[in-house]
Amino acid sequence: MYGIKSYLKYLFIAHYRNGHHVHSPYTYRVCRNVLYERWDYYCFDRIEHFRKVKHYKSQNARYEQIMMRLCVMNGCKNIVDVEPDDGLSTMYLASVDTRNTVKVLKSGHDDTAKKNWEMGGYVNIELLDSIYEVKSFDFLCFNGPFERLETEYEEYKKRASNDSVIAVRGIHSCSKAEHLWENIVKDNDVRISMDFFGMGVIWLNPQYQKQHYYIKL
């Protein structure tokens, strides 16, 4: 019930479809070249076939493809994936440039993601124990749990440059997630924030004018 109410609220306030009324040149490029780009990368079919065989949630694909497109557009080389569930988000990020290694921060003893990477032939993935092992990043994807984000958010900011991008999955999945996301959006260090309902993305570049967007995909 909570998810339905949250989604209806999002639909009511979301706009900026296709980049209309977006004034920042960079944000407009994100809308046109990332969010509404229709051409698929070669790896999309391969990863989605893997998802279909494994019977994983198909609604995650759109967000994971957006993350990959963002990384490609920004030329991201240092990529971090925090707490990936089934590991498919990491597959997309590892496909940005196979010459670069994606660093994964994963706790617990669930080996599902690691097994999927091995089955998919992804070798440019490195498992780390802590954010303190990461010196800097161009792109960071946070998948949960939100207790970890609440604890480590400031550490992420310390390792971000002006051009770094942070994506947060499941921002409307529960009241705690929404509250934390709202606080992140209000953070003075966050200059641009975008809400796609299933995922939020933030930019910390102080040269940007502070703006928050609810965008319909």
CB 209 within 8 A of CB 191: yes
Fold for the domain defined by 2-214: Rossmann fold (3.40.50)
Q: What per-residue confidence (pLDDT) applies to 102?
A: 98
Q: Which two tokens stand for residue 5?
A: 């109410």
Percent helix, strand, coil in the chain, to 5, is 45, 20, 35
For the chain, the first-to-last Cα distance in angstroms comes to 22
DSSP SS3 for 151: helix
Domain positions in the chain: 2-214
Query: How far apart (Å, rounded) are the C-alpha atoms in residues 149 and 11?
Result: 26
- Closest Cα to residue 104, out of 96, 38, 117? 117
From first to last of its 217 residues, the chain has per-residue pLDDT tens of 566 777 777 766 766 554 455 667 888 889 888 998 989 999 999 999 999 999 998 888 999 999 999 999 999 999 999 999 899 999 999 999 999 999 999 877 668 999 999 999 999 999 999 999 999 999 999 998 999 999 999 999 999 999 999 999 999 999 999 999 999 999 999 999 999 999 999 999 999 999 999 888 8
Predicted TM-score (pTM) above 0.85:
yes
